[in-house]
């Protein structure tokens, strides 16, 4: 009797191990297929990381819905007007992912994630045509960096007659997002600047034409949208979210 019990236990362990092995092989295959479908559907230059969470995977497959899928895209070119804007380190968690049998289509009930827009990418939008200032001077944004305290440090270069004034103007700016648009606005602006030692008053509206800018960001994967923004060391950290997010197909 005891021997029979031992044999039964051994068989249970062996079958359990085989089930786990089969489950892990299946999930690995599904991850690879899903990553390739996502790369194709989003036109990515590199294959993204796809990780299917939860165990066992095979029972989720039988139900037609995956509980939790994590996706990582190193670089993604979103749309900003007629230009592209590079989104770095996009990581998203998808909940309730319904998929077709061949993984050609998949839709998540909801998605949340994080990413980064570097200051260099934001600077491309801020660097428009120089704005005309009093006495024939012009001003334009030439640098963005972390200002600390949830602020972006904006560096403005003032020129006159092709010569740069010796001291650039720095302002601390707040950043927010509204309707897919990242808005950078100076908290305070300089009231004057000097040209050849002569202080020249600066109308606020005129200065804000130089310091303040915005960038509409659309075309993120699956229709997710920017929810929040926050200045960081290397750029603006963004959080994204969406519902009925289409991953492929």
Report which of residues 159 and 213 the model is more confident about: 213
Report which of residues 129 and 18 the model is more confident about: 129
Please, which residues have CB within 8 angstroms of residue 174's CB and are 6 or more apart in sequence? 150, 151, 152, 184, 185, 187
| Confidence at residue 16, expressed as pLDDT on a 0 to 100 scale | 42
| Confidence at residue 15, expressed as pLDDT on a 0 to 100 scale | 42
| Confidence at residue 40, expressed as pLDDT on a 0 to 100 scale | 83
| Confidence at residue 80, expressed as pLDDT on a 0 to 100 scale | 85
pLDDT (mean) for 34-63: 80
pLDDT of 190 > 50? The answer is yes
pLDDT (mean) for 109-123: 94
pLDDT (mean) for 49-63: 77
Please, which residues have CB within 8 angstroms of residue 217's CB and are 6 or more apart in sequence? 78, 79, 80, 85, 87, 117, 180, 181, 182, 226
pLDDT of 134 > 50? The answer is yes
Of the pLDDT bands very low, low, confident and very high (cuts 50, 70, 90), residue 234 is very high
Beta partners for 230?
237
| Confidence at residue 68, expressed as pLDDT on a 0 to 100 scale | 87
pLDDT (mean) for 57-70: 78
| Confidence at residue 22, expressed as pLDDT on a 0 to 100 scale | 59
Burial of 172 from C-beta contacts in 10 A (0-12 / 13-18 / 19+): middle
Give, in order, the Cα–Cα distances in Å from 116 to each of 37, 85, 86, 98, 226: 24, 11, 9, 28, 11
Average pLDDT taken over every residue of the chain: 81
Report which of residues 113 and 164 the model is more confident about: 113
C-alpha angle with apex 73: 92 to 115, nearest 5 degrees? 55
Of the pLDDT bands very low, low, confident and very high (cuts 50, 70, 90), residue 241 is very high
Report which of residues 6 and 130 the model is more confident about: 130
Per-residue model confidence as pLDDT tens digits over 72-98: 999 999 988 778 999 999 999 989 888
Of the pLDDT bands very low, low, confident and very high (cuts 50, 70, 90), residue 24 is low
């Amino acid at each position: 009797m005891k021997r029979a019990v031992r044999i039964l236990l051994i068989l249970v362990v062996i079958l359990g191990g085989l089930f786990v092995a089969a489950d892990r092989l299946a999930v690995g295959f599904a991850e690879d297929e899903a990553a390739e479908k996502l790369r194709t559907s989003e036109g990515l230059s590199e294959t993204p990381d796809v990780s299917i969470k939860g165990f066992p995977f095979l029972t989720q497959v039988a139900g037609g819905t995956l509980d939790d899928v994590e996706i990582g895209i190193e670089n993604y070119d979103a749309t900003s007007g007629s230009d592209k804007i590079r989104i770095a380190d996009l990581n998203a968690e998808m909940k309730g992912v319904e998929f077709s049998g061949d993984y050609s289509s998949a839709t998540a009930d909801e998605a949340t994630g994080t990413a980064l827009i570097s200051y260099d990418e934001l600077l491309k939008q801020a660097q428009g045509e120089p704005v005309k200032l009093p006495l024939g001077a012009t001003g334009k944004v030439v640098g963005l960096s972390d200002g600390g305290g949830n602020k972006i440090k904006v560096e403005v270069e003032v020129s006159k007659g092709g010569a740069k004034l010796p001291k650039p103007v720095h302002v601390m700016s707040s950043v927010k997002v509204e309707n897919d648009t990242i808005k950078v606005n100076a908290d305070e602006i300089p009231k004057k600047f000097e040209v050849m030692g002569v202080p020249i008053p600066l109308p606020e509206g005129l200065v804000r034409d130089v310091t303040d800018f915005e960038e509409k960001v659309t075309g993120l994967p699956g229709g997710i949208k920017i929810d929040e923004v926050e200045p960081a060391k290397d750029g603006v950290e963004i959080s994204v979210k969406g519902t009925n997010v289409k991953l492929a197909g």
